[in-house]
Amino acid sequence: MRVADVLRELGRPIAYYPFLARYLGGVNAAVLFCQIFYWQDKATSELGVHKTSAELENETGLSYEEQRSARAALRDSGVLIETEKRIEHKIYFRVDEDALERILSAGPAAKKASQDSRTEV
């Protein structure tokens, strides 16, 4: 079998915007953000998208620990809203588009200055 045929059989590739890594806390955060953003329009709950860590690993290649770090970076930047439904054992993810707008408008230098001022306290 040809390499191109093997790639077609592996499923869909994941796409992300590399420039977002500078704004959101790294490549893993940008990959996870783009995946959640992709699914957000397809969510059936007003709470957002429900994805298990196993589903996200299959879709993004990010391990559980990589997902945890990426989620923390996205929450810290304000672009990811997580809603835990403990009884259902589910976490719903939603992108705060207003926060994303503020971060992208301010630029990566402003984000770095904001992070530096928080760590100095």
The span from the first CA to the last CA of the chain, in angstroms, equals 58
- The total domain count for the chain is 1
| Segments forming the whole domain that contains residue 42 | 3-97
Q: What is the CATH number of the domain that holds 63?
A: 1.10.10
Region 102-121 average pLDDT: 65
pLDDT-derived band at 119, boundaries 50, 70, 90: low
Say which residue the tokens 């630029």 belong to: 107
Q: Is 7 exposed, middle or buried (0-12, 13-18, 19+ CB in 10 A)?
A: exposed
Residue 110 lies in a domain: no
Strand, helix or coil for residue 92: strand
pTM of the model: 0.81
- 11 assigned to some structural domain: yes
Question: What is the Cα–Cα distance from 120 to 104, expressed in whole angstroms?
Answer: 23
Q: Does any domain span residue 111?
A: no
Tell whether 75 is covered by a domain.
yes
Looking at the domain assignment, is residue 42 inside a domain? yes
- Asked whether residue 27 is domain-assigned, the answer is yes
Q: Tell me the average pLDDT across 10-16.
A: 80
To the nearest 10°, report the CA torsion of 62, 67, 73, 79: 90
